[in-house]
Structure 1
Amino acid sequence: MTLRWEAFLAHVQERGEYETSQEADRAARVVLALLGAHLVGHERAELAARLPEAYALILLNPLQAAEPLSAERFVQATAAWIEGATAETAKWDVGAVLSVVADASGEELMQRVLLQLPPGYDLLFGRPQSA
Structure 2
Amino acid sequence: MIVRTQWDAFLAAVEERGEYGSRQEAERSSRVVLALLGAHLVGDVRAELAARLPETFALVLLNPLQAHEPLSPERFIRATAAWIEGATEKTATWDVSAVLSVVADLAGEDLTNQILLQLPRGYDLLFGRPEPI
Aligned to 2:92: 90
3-state secondary structure, aligned to 2:124? helix
Percent of aligned pairs sharing the same letter: 73
> Deviation per CA, 1:60-106, whole angstroms, max 9, x where unpaired?
00000010000010000000000000000000000000000000000
Report the Cα distance in structure 1 between the residues aligned to 2:9 and 2:27, rounded to whole angstroms.
12
Report the Cα distance in structure 1 between the residues aligned to 2:125 and 2:107, rounded to whole angstroms.
16
Aligned to 2:48: 46
Report the Cα distance in structure 1 between the residues aligned to 2:45 and 2:63, rounded to whole angstroms.
14
Aligned to 1:7: 9
Normalising by structure 1, we get a TM-score of 0.96
The one-letter amino acid paired with 1:39 is L
Normalising by structure 2, we get a TM-score of 0.95
3-state secondary structure, aligned to 2:121? coil
Aligned to 1:29: 31
Gaps of 5+ in 2: none
Counterpart contact for 2:124–2:131, Cα < 8 Å: yes
Aligned to 1:99: 101
How many residue pairs match? The answer is: 129
Aligned to 2:114: 112
How far 1:130 moved relative to its partner? 4.7
Alpha carbons of structure 1 residues 130 and 117: separation in structure 2 relative to 1, 3 Å? closer
Alpha carbons of structure 1 residues 53 and 67: separation in structure 2 relative to 1, 3 Å? same
Gaps of 5+ in 1: none
